[in-house]
Amino acid sequence: MLATRRYVLALFAVLLLASCGRAPTLPRLSPHDVILAFGDSLTHGTGASEETAYPAVLASLTGHTVINAGVPGDTTATGLQRLPAVLAEHKPRLVLLCLGGNDMLHQQPAATTENNLRLLVQTIRASGAEVVLIGVPEPRLFGGAPHFYARVAKDMKLPLEQDAFNEVLKDARLKSDPIHANAAGYRVVAQRLDEFLKEAGAL
């Protein structure tokens, strides 16, 4: 009896630890739910056409409406200014948040970028939408996404995709210039996000 009780307690502890390490999940989207891709030139599709930017490709892969709300040159600060109007206009159920690259190019303090990302997430959640945070690699050789993306994701219990753009921007065949993808690169990003959203339970 005592051995059985110890076994049950040990099993419970293992399951508890496993659940603690599990990545945050997302509610399943209904067919009519809108996805908003909010970001800068990487979201806009600079280096490719509107039809081959990642939001358009993701729409074709998922069957969902995916709004391209990418503005070239946008920083986390300017994104904060325009976000409320974009949310009010499109009423998304899910927002793919991809900002921070221009902050790095302009050498903004990392703490400022991190704080702005937190404010962006809070604003999105206040609208009733879910958030996926997309990490942007640092604009340097072999630069992965800065650690603040992982901190924001962990603290705010967000799904984080931090490999797609890092993978693409390391491959010259997938780039139109040093900091932007080409059509093939944006397709890779869209495919990675499609897989990510399926694993997170949204699709």
The catalytic residue positions are 41, 177, 180
Secondary structure letter of residue 131 according to DSSP: E
Q: How far is CA 80 from CA 15, 20, 131, 194, in A?
A: 39, 31, 15, 26
Task: Name the token pair of 149.
Answer: 């993306």
Q: How far is CA 104 from CA 13, 92, 120, 179, 197, in A?
A: 42, 28, 17, 12, 27
- Sorted by sequence, the CB contacts under 8 Å of residue 107 that are 6+ apart come out as none
Say which residue the tokens 């945050």 belong to. 24
